[in-house]
Structure 1
């Protein structure tokens, strides 16, 4: 991929680029908790967005997106969104300059092997790769956490999705053999060992586009906020569902609209599962961790209502295949992938069984991606190709 990118770049722009890469991410447990100031447990994966880039000594950014076979140019004086994928680049360019950093025009080619729409956060990886590249190229001195916030602000202001910080954080802070327990309120994080050489992380794509995810995401956020405003009357110190204990929620169940109770209930119990899951991983207990993953899927499907028939089928199917430690839907929901922790020697059988069962019911073969936990955004050279 890197050699191909370098060749394409020199042919298009007649100079040599530097190549940067930022990974997609998986989140093992802790879904829809980030915007409730809770905890998440992501890891960076071995699938990336690549950016080949070089300064052009102008005031213009010239982009070629290999995956879409599209060119686009914009001025550094950009202040508002346009339409389409380039908003990620426009937003990052704008927000880096808003930090008082001086950057110049660049030529770049973007490519990647993160499956789009599979819930591995290709958009966050794009913001991370491009932001990281500008930061290195123009020596802006921004930290990885600064760049994560710039990616998040881009989603909020240029893309219109009120996402949490997890995706950008994971893409920039990933560490091989570890997942990251991130406190979304304080932004303190801890690397938790996830070093199981006998297992792979396998994503199974439901082949359902999660087009509902953006609008419903904002609805879930409002429902959680409604729950907090009611509970706050009794517990003035709580500021988010992160602060709510299961007993407190149950005590005031009658005051909450049933749908709001279900949403809050999922988030409150997901925090308990995540903290217990981290303890299990520290003890190298993948069996216990897997059980929490299955329980998370049940909560996302029944209480948070962000699953779909295809995802429920895949999670249930996985539970009955030998060699699967845990499985659940991953990401915003309404489509995308399930994440499965599968014994390496069982991956082939798992893939055959789940594809065959899914095709039997839905008449479509789901794509399967085998991944592992890798490092976050970095400069790449030809030796790593």
Structure 2
């Protein structure tokens, strides 16, 4: 039974009727541009074919009824659409319910609830945006069932707000944007300061994108992610005493070097240096790709990881081990951590004829060093969130 049939079958089992609509929402991988989104810089993500599936149908009453095959032990979670609050016992469903609540706060009215069954084949806690995938999926359900006049970019913004304000994770726009706006075979070059973007064809010659999962889960809400953001905000506040600037992403390397002495805390200097230089790397990397200079793109990926390791300090032993092992392999153009860090995945560009040896060698050595195996996914670049049927 394929995933779509499985979700349909589970819906019928739990709600004793057929689902009205089926939906799919992708995960995402960010090729370069990490922790730049909330610093007003550029990012370069793409949507991937792993993601979150849903079978859903409207109800006649005001109840929201949610069931996840991935969290079957939690059972069906219910809430009233007119009185949504963040409750610990709602667990994973807080991501879904938070989107509904934020949409309501922005003037959308929902006269009835709905039933939904969810199944995701994204590895949880891997940094491939399983939370954003679920959030944008929820937004698409709302748009479809209630006939909402809202475009994908606005959906992404409201989903980000739900994660910031309802869930308590102070993320930037990258994840929700990539999930909502994905386009098959293209990555998205997004200026997070202006939200201007363009699609860039991923022409990797004889190479492919390989995602490697450390199988060391991270939880960004409980991690130092929010601390990193506040350190960058402090650095920016200090810089503003010397220079009129609205975000770190507005500075190039020379400008940063002129004003960095204004930053009082040496740790905040490191955080800001990463934000500024990573943004410049991202701009250079996209230009390299468009000039068919895959070697330069890979070099900038490697430099990105080093900066995330040394200046932003969000990698850790597992991610560093994967990146360092990847750099030693034949056929690897570049490799870096992707996502928020503190566990999760690396993304590598690997020559097609070296993928199997890449997987074998890294799996063997990583297991010797870390004590458990990594997982590998060759990424297919997919469209954004959509209705299946």
TM-score w.r.t. structure 2 length?
Answer: 0.94
CA offset digits 1:228-287 (Å, max 9, x no partner): 122112212x01101222223223444432211111111111111111111111122221
Partner of residue 258, structure 2:
251
CA offset digits 1:82-122 (Å, max 9, x no partner): 11211111111112222222322111100011111110000
Partner of residue 193, structure 1:
201
CA offset digits 1:25-53 (Å, max 9, x no partner): 00000000001011111100010101110
Asked whether 1:158 is paired with 2:173, we answer no
SS in 1 for 2:56: strand
Q: For 2:251 and 2:106, how far apart are their aligned partners in 1?
A: 35
Task: Pick from 11, 22, 27 the counterpart of residue 24 of structure 1.
Answer: 27
Task: Pick from 77, 97, 111 the counterpart of residue 104 of structure 2.
Answer: 97
Gaps of 5+ in 2: none
Partner of residue 202, structure 1:
210
Partner of residue 352, structure 1:
360
Task: Pick from 53, 57, 64 the counterpart of residue 56 of structure 2.
Answer: 53
CA contact (8 A) 1:22 1:129 kept: yes
Greater Cα shift, 121-130 or 6-15: 6-15
Distance 1:222-1:21 versus aligned 2 partners, 3 A rule: same
Task: Write the mapping of 1:336-375 to structure 2, written as runs, cut at 5 A.
Answer: 336-375=344-383
Partner of residue 277, structure 1:
285
Q: For 1:143 and 1:253, how far apart are their aligned partners in 2?
A: 40
Asked whether 1:321 is paired with 2:329, we answer yes
Greater Cα shift, 113-122 or 101-110: 101-110
Q: For 2:230 and 2:210, how far apart are their aligned partners in 1?
A: 32
CA contact (8 A) 1:36 1:240 kept: yes
TM-superposed CA distance for 1:200, in Å, is: 2.5
Q: For 2:349 and 2:35, how far apart are their aligned partners in 1?
A: 20
Over aligned residues, Cα RMSD in angstroms?
Answer: 1.4
Q: For 1:370 and 1:158, how far apart are their aligned partners in 2?
A: 33
TM-superposed CA distance for 1:223, in Å, is: 1.2
Equivalenced residues, count: 380
Q: For 2:99 and 2:115, how far apart are their aligned partners in 1?
A: 15
Distance 1:228-1:191 versus aligned 2 partners, 3 A rule: same
TM-superposed CA distance for 1:373, in Å, is: 1.1
SS in 1 for 2:166: helix
TM-superposed CA distance for 1:362, in Å, is: 1.5
Q: For 1:249 and 1:183, how far apart are their aligned partners in 2?
A: 19
